[in-house]
Amino acid sequence: MARRPTGADPRDAGLSSYDAMLLAAMERGGEGLETGRHILTYRQDATEEAKAAVASLGIRAADARDYGDQTASVSDVGEAESLFLPEIGVAIVNNPEFNDASAALVADTATPLEVVEPEYFVFADDVTPDYLHGFRRAVDAILQDVDGRVTEFGDDADAEALGATWGLNACRVPQSTRSGTGIRVAVLDTGMALNHPDFAGRAFVASSFVGQPVMDLHGHGTHCIGTSCGPTSPPGTTPRYGIAHKAGPIFVGKVLSNAGSGGTASVLAGMDWAIANGCAVISMSLGSQSPVQAAYTAAGQAALDKGCLIVAAAGNASNSTGAPANSPTIMSVASLDPNLAPSSFSNFGKIDIAGPGRDVFSAAPMPRRYATMSGTSMATPHVAGCAALLAQLSPSLRGRVLWNRLTAMARPLPYPPARVGRGLVQAYP
């Protein structure tokens, strides 16, 4: 692995703060997923009281509402040691003494503070469960200044024929007369290749929560946006790979770095932003093998209450569903192979629905243009795109109502619900 000069700012090499924190932990020999920061969940209608309680500990607070379109991250708050996200009732605290100092406040029923949890690292949900090994390779590429790359998460892919990808056919997307017109879809991931020619003329609203430009140098986010919102008629013999081809504007939240790393805080900030901007569908192909977190559960409930549906990848560790998909208020998505059997890598347990996840063809940053990838990450945007088509039917199809209708329409499969949930997602005709 290439090593940076002692004392150099890792951001000078193109790394995000999360990349730097994870590198430092790895260099210390750490294998854990905790970043060292804390996440505070409080009663959602009590932001000002929660800020006062935190201030009583001498911790300065910032509020996402003070930033344009609620685009705020921990790195943006200057001297403040906490960032409050009022749409979801969560705060990120960057003070090492907060966990012990907050215990009495959380126990005091007179305060609106409910739970304090560690922040965890979060990763692009690729098919390789050895996340640290993959992260080392990605960082090595960045430190060697490899421009315009797509990481090992995608293989070279050539379009074979006109028509649609196997995933879209399995979900009956070509038969749908819906386009997602007027539906705001947010994809929280590694960003988007905004110069991709297949998206020329499409409207984007883009924000970064990891201190890097939104432009996707990883490939994961572009691939997911391609599936959920890509075009109906790509050029030449390229098969159709996009579902909600007129959804818009597309909200691009860069919550993972170009190396594929982020944290609970960056994801929550992106969720707060997407909810504040009225996105009907929020797609998150990311996660970690960490326990259920109260902050994600609160954010998912806030989203449902405000007419937003969050779908998230179950994970690829052949293990129990990871966070945030393991929260009961977030729709968890498992992966299927082309024969509609559960993918060998797909997590299990808390599964709500399944989507095509093996060998999925979609968009990639230029000059590559297209790639084939596998993972529950690829299954998730199939669900998000189908949700956008369904949401187009009526303004009443939002939040929990959209969740229930989407799962009720799923194609039953001969596998346990712990593997495929209600079955294979289907597009509304």
Place of tokens 């000078």: 12
Q: What amino acid positions are annotated as catalytic residues?
A: 189, 220, 377
251 three-class SS: strand
- Tell me what percent of the residues of the chain surpass a pLDDT of 70: 86
Higher pLDDT, 142 or 421: 421
Q: What is the pTM of this model?
A: 0.90
User: Domain segments of the chain: what residues?
Assistant: 14-120, 124-420
- Tell me what percent of the residues of the chain surpass a pLDDT of 90: 73
**Interior CA angle at 7 toward 39 and 12, to 5°?**
75
Closest by Cα among 340, 277, 338, 327 to 297:
327
Closest by Cα among 318, 314, 192, 329 to 256:
192
- Written as one string, the DSSP assignment of 397-413 is --HHHHHHHHHHHSBP-
Mean pLDDT value across residues 396-402: 98
How many residues in the chain? 429
Give residue-wise pLDDT tens across range 73-114. 777 676 789 999 999 999 999 988 888 888 888 988 889 999
Whole-number Å distance between alpha carbons of 72 and 273: 8
Mean pLDDT value across residues 349-359: 98
Tokens at residue 307, please? 């007419």
Please give the pLDDT value at position 31.
59
Which region among 56-70, 290-304, 353-367 has the lowest average model confidence (pLDDT)? 56-70
- CATH value of 124-420 in 3.40.50.10490, 1.20.1260.10, 3.20.20.70, 3.40.50.200: 3.40.50.200
- In DSSP terms, 130 is beta-bridged to none
